[in-house]
Amino acid sequence: MLRLILLSAAALSVTASAASAETIRWARAGDSLTLDPHSQNEGPTHALAHQIYDPLLQRDMAGAIIPALATEWATLPGNPNVWRFKLREGVTFHDGAAFDAEDVVFSLNRAKADTSEMQELLASVIDIRAVDAYTVDLETEGANPLMINNLTNTFMMDKGWAEANDVAKPLDHNAGETTYATSNTNGTGAFMLVSRSVDEKTVLQANPNYWGADIYPHQVSEIIYTPIQSSATRVAALLSGEVDIIQDVPVQDLGRVGATDGLKVVTAAQNRVIFFGVDNVDGPTADVRVRQAMNMAINRDAIQQIVMRDQSDPTGVIMPPFVNGWTEALNEFPAYDLDAAKALMAEAGYGDGFDIALNCPNDRYINDEAICQAAVGMMGQIGINVTLDARPKAQHFPFIKEGNSDFWMLGWGVPTFDSHYIFNYLLHTNIGSRGSWNPTGFSNAEVDEMIVSLESETDLAVRDATIAKIWDIVQAEQVHLPIHNQVLNWGMKDGINFDVQPEDQPHFQFLTFN
Amino acid sequence: MLLIILRRLGQSIFVLFLVAFISFMIFRYVGNPVDNLLGQEATTERREALIESLGLNDPLHVQYFDFVVRALQFDFGVSYRTGMPVAEMIVQRLPATIELALVSAVFAILLGVVAGVYTAINRRGFIANAILSSSLIGVSLPTFLIGVLLIWIFAVELKWLPSFGRGTAVDLGFWSTGFLTISGLKSLILPGIMLGLYQMTLIMRLTRAEMLEVLRQDYIKFAKARGLPDRTVYFGHALKNTLVPVITIAGLQLGSIVAFAIITETVFQWPGVGLMFINAVYFVDIPVMSAYLLLVGTLFVLINLIVDLLYLLIDPRLRDGQLRRAGS
């Protein structure tokens, strides 16, 4: 009897693998938080939403902007305040409804709603109008030359479906409500939702009417997405052949995965920079010479080789290389020079050093706590006595945002791929809607003014000059202590051809099989 | 008798309120959920407005009182993390945890008792000593490491068993079970062993000690003198008398198996309430955390209540006034 069961199990597994030759079993550390495309502005949530829903335009696997549901876009001649989008014709939602301008107007308004987490990216939009069935105008308050960079994760929903299911607005956390769109979808994307169990398994199936079927390879017939939180288990699942592709390969297992027959590791620079913030106003770090000394005392090469096992790109600026405004010169960092650092410390009157606490997350960035531990030793060499306080992100971020820390670690991704996004949140004075991640106290009226001017400057040459000028001031002031840009590693079967996307978002319509 | 039961029930409810209160005090130190709820672009005003409207600025006793009032109506709110009703999430995930706990309890009791009896009878045997010393390793290694080792051997090297998940579960409407499919059964083996290993060694050592104690008793000597076969002496007479304390301990351990499932479920990505809880802690998902702690509290209180009542049933001396000692 037992033999019979085993035999039939073997037979079943054989037929299953033959029938699903183009199934991709995909694992990463975290699950998507919600299927509602406007309810969370978070990496894994967008990554899943991209399979099911489409934005007007999106970033491809190399990070370049390509058309999605819009085929053309430009500001109106003579009126830089209005962006005109030509929509793709003949697109249908998964339930068969046609996609047109009405859906775009609805979706953008939904993304702007007060319960939406995408609202800040659309803050400059004052009106969204349908010109005809396949043309939409988006009017901004003043010119916004970078409007389209903010739309790459803003997904389009069907107006009729959303209204019929009473999800015209994203979920309201305050009301303690739950909505249909949290666990049901109707997109235009390459894959349709088959089933979903949170933190366990989400099954998607290829959309037979996908508009991009002739544009992209679109070879994957089914996606089985399983979050696996424990990194050892995630690697084990890849090694044992239970999954085909994993994101977030821990650096200590890269060698093992790469050396395994039939598996490979694909690596690419990530759009995320890791750095230390310091109090620019109070205490010893208010002196720019102390900040420069600390910057010189960070042995970035040692962090790269030992802590990160070569999986990082050391940098001297808090800007990933994808970002508009990045230059080779800015990226250069000072040589690791203890004598020069000590001399600067003495000049600033801190020749005997000082005590400071370093606040660090321990569950957010790659080897975050280990980097901080290394920094404790490095600062010790120039007399700075650092006590490390490593905590989960849920405690770390509120702590630093409320200005309680003098010395902290932070990472920053730049979804718009433009320097303005860094300036606006990390360097503008913390006031109103700007500077919300700037607890350094750095506040420079001239810089603030230039940051605001970037938002409406349509002459790109002038704009780039302003960006360069801001970076010069910021670098001279040594507002932050940059460490490195993270590197992404995806582990996958040899039979798969798939690039690593700099925002850590796999778009499976691009995947091909050997 | 009825009065005693009512009094015990009253005490249990008081304990539950206390559990809820202590958990609310702990939540203050877990962190703040707003930075997880809001995108990184959110303005400072919007952040403060959300903190205010979620009631996170309210004093502790106000938050606690709100929770108790809603909990009494079985309203546990909506998860911050998933946007789903907490009660629904628990109902969906409880079967996975209960099935896992059941498998590991059966594994622990069966293997523990058999190994305990064996090592007691063959006290100086080579195998018995090997079992005893290897059980020491089982107790001293962290369960997390044991889980990873099991995955490494049976999933990666031998490829016999799955390294994560629950396999294919069959939905019976009110209950989703992994017992009805081969992949479901295979998935239960490794996490079941990891979760049950510690309890197994505990039960084994307890059985062995009790058995050795019993074997020294006069009636065993008499039984042997009467020429009864070893089998009858060991299993008919000795084991029966050994089992009473073993069953008591095993019953009490059932609660801790469910509570310890948090680590096992994280290692094996087991979709149960333990994994739900650990994710809630990372996210500071207060509605889920408070409901889970109340659930576990209820479980422990219920088990203790049943044990107390069983004592009453077994031992008539306890019925008149000595209850407090038995329950302590």
Q: Are residues B238 and B191 in the same domain?
A: yes
Q: What is the mean pLDDT of residues A74-82?
A: 93
Q: Are A350 and A383 in contact (CB under 8 A)?
A: yes
Q: Regarding beta strands A222-227 and A23-28, do their DSSP bridges make them parallel or antiparallel, or are they unpaired?
A: parallel
Q: Does residue A238 sit within a domain?
A: no
Q: Are residues B147 and B292 in the same domain?
A: yes
End residue of a domain, out of A199, A227, A255:
A227
The complex's ipTM works out to 0.85
Q: Does residue A254 sit within a domain?
A: no
Contact flag A33-B81 (C-beta cutoff 8 Å) = yes
Structure tokens at A162: 């959303």
Phi-psi region of B192 (alpha: psi -120 to 50; beta: other; left: phi over 0): alpha
Q: Are residues B92 and B137 in the same domain?
A: yes
Q: Does residue A33 sit within a domain?
A: yes
Q: Are residues A220 and A278 in the same domain?
A: no
Q: Does residue B250 sit within a domain?
A: yes
Q: Does residue B272 sit within a domain?
A: yes
Q: Are residues B287 and B207 in the same domain?
A: yes
Q: Are residues B114 and B66 in the same domain?
A: no
Q: Does residue A35 sit within a domain?
A: yes
Question: Tell me, what amino acid is at A420?
Answer: H
Contact flag B84-A432 (C-beta cutoff 8 Å) = no
Q: Are residues B183 and B265 in the same domain?
A: yes
Helix extents (H) in B216-321: 218-225, 230-231, 239-267, 273-283, 286-314
Query: Locate tokens 């350094």: which residue?
Result: A440
Q: Are residues B46 and B149 in the same domain?
A: no
Coil/strand/helix, residue A487: strand
Confidence category of residue B316, pLDDT binned at 50, 70, 90: low
Q: Does residue B27 sit within a domain?
A: no
Q: What is the pLDDT of residues A180-198, one digit of tens each?
A: 999 999 999 999 999 999 9
Q: Are residues A50 and A142 in the same domain?
A: yes
In angstroms, what separates the C-alpha of A144 from chain B's closest C-alpha? 17
Element (H, E) at B10: helix B2-30
DSSP A411-469: EEE-TT-BHHHHIIIIIS-SBTTB-TT-TT----HHHHHHHHHHTT---HHHHHHHHHH
Nearest residue of A to residue B181 by CA position?
A9
Q: What is the pLDDT of residues A336-391, one digit of tens each?
A: 999 999 999 999 999 999 999 999 999 889 999 999 999 999 999 999 999 999 99
Q: Does residue B252 sit within a domain?
A: yes
End residue of a domain, out of A227, A262, A297:
A227
Coil/strand/helix, residue A140: strand
Q: Counting every residue, how long is chain B?
A: 328
Q: Does residue B319 sit within a domain?
A: no
Give the count of domains, chain B: 2
The number of C-alpha atoms within 13 Å of A96 and in the hemisphere containing its C-beta is 0
pTM of the model: 0.88
Rounded to the nearest 10 degrees, how much is the dihedral formed by the CA atoms of A93, A155, A190, A496?
-170
Q: Which residues of chain B have a CB within 8 Å of the CB of A401?
A: 35, 47
Q: Does residue B170 sit within a domain?
A: yes
Question: Tell me, what amino acid is at A403?
Answer: G
Contact flag B283-A34 (C-beta cutoff 8 Å) = no
- Domain of residue A398 covers 270-487
Query: Locate tokens 């409320």: which residue?
Result: A402
Q: Are residues A173 and A58 in the same domain?
A: yes
Q: Per 3-state DSSP, what percentage of chain B is helix, strand, and coil (rounded to 5)?
A: 75, 0, 20
Nearest residue of A to residue B152 by CA position?
A236
Q: What is the mean pLDDT of residues A208-223?
A: 95
Contact flag B39-A118 (C-beta cutoff 8 Å) = yes
Contact flag B32-A9 (C-beta cutoff 8 Å) = no
For the domain that residue B109 is a member of, what is the CATH number? 1.10.3720.10
Beta bridge partners of A192: A205
DSSP A403-416: T--SEEEEEEE-TT
Q: What is the pLDDT of residues A448-491, one digit of tens each?
A: 999 999 988 989 999 999 999 999 999 999 999 999 999 999 99
Confidence category of residue A173, pLDDT binned at 50, 70, 90: confident
How far apart are alpha carbons A166 and A181 in whole angstroms? 9
Reply yes or no on whether the pLDDT at A1 is more than 60: no
Structure tokens at B247: 């069953």
Q: For residue B323, what pLDDT is reported?
A: 47
Tell me how many residue pairs between chain A and chain B have CB atoms under 8 A apart.
154
Reply yes or no on whether the pLDDT at B32 is more than 80: yes
In angstroms, what separates the C-alpha of B50 from chain A's closest C-alpha? 7
Q: What is the pLDDT of residues B121-142, one digit of tens each?
A: 888 889 888 988 888 877 888 8
Reply yes or no on whether the pLDDT at A18 is more than 60: no
For the domain that residue A294 is a member of, what is the CATH number? 3.10.105.10
In angstroms, what separates the C-alpha of B308 from chain A's closest C-alpha? 38
End residue of a domain, out of B73, B101, B122:
B73
Give the whole-number percent of chain A exceeding pLDDT 70. 95
For the domain that residue A115 is a member of, what is the CATH number? 3.40.190.10
Q: Are residues A74 and A161 in the same domain?
A: yes
Angle between helix axes B273-283 and B86-121 (nearest 10 degrees) is 120
Give the count of domains, chain A: 2
The answer to whether B56 faces chain A, any CB pair under 8 Å, is no
Q: Are residues A222 and A289 in the same domain?
A: no
Contact flag B50-A174 (C-beta cutoff 8 Å) = yes
Q: Are residues B156 and B269 in the same domain?
A: yes
Query: Locate tokens 């960079």: which residue?
Result: A149
How far apart are alpha carbons B25 and B307 in whole angstroms? 30
- Sorted by sequence, the CB contacts under 8 Å of residue A422 that are 6+ apart come out as A318, A319, A323, A412, A414
Q: Are residues A217 and A278 in the same domain?
A: no
Q: Are residues A327 and A412 in the same domain?
A: yes
Q: What is the mean pLDDT of residues A405-418?
A: 95
Q: Are residues A351 and A219 in the same domain?
A: no
Q: For residue B236, what pLDDT is reported?
A: 79
Confidence category of residue B318, pLDDT binned at 50, 70, 90: low
Q: Are residues B59 and B130 in the same domain?
A: no
Q: Are residues A436 and A304 in the same domain?
A: yes
Q: Does residue A239 sit within a domain?
A: no
Q: Does residue A500 sit within a domain?
A: no
How far apart are alpha carbons A360 and A377 in whole angstroms? 15
Beta bridge partners of A410: A275
Phi-psi region of A199 (alpha: psi -120 to 50; beta: other; left: phi over 0): left
Q: Does residue B318 sit within a domain?
A: no
Q: What is the pLDDT of residues B225-279, one digit of tens each?
A: 888 888 888 887 888 778 777 877 777 787 788 877 999 999 999 999 999 999 9
**A154, A178, A389: best to mutate for the B interface, most B CBs within 10 A:** A178
Nearest residue of A to residue B44 by CA position?
A436
Query: Locate tokens 């905590």: which residue?
Result: A391
Q: Are residues B155 and B204 in the same domain?
A: yes
- Sorted by sequence, the CB contacts under 8 Å of residue A217 that are 6+ apart come out as A509, A510, A511, A512
Q: Are A124 and A142 in contact (CB under 8 A)?
A: yes
Q: Are residues A34 and A155 in the same domain?
A: yes
Question: Tell me, what amino acid is at B62?
Answer: V
Q: Are A332 and A326 in contact (CB under 8 A)?
A: no
Q: Regarding beta strands A201-206 and A222-227, do their DSSP bridges make them parallel or antiparallel, or are they unpaired?
A: antiparallel
- Domain of residue B54 covers 33-73
Q: Are residues B126 and B227 in the same domain?
A: yes
Q: Does residue A387 sit within a domain?
A: yes
Q: Are A510 and A504 in contact (CB under 8 A)?
A: no
Q: Does residue A240 sit within a domain?
A: no
Q: Are residues B147 and B43 in the same domain?
A: no
Q: Which residues of chain A have a CB within 8 Å of the CB of B84?
A: 178, 182-183, 198
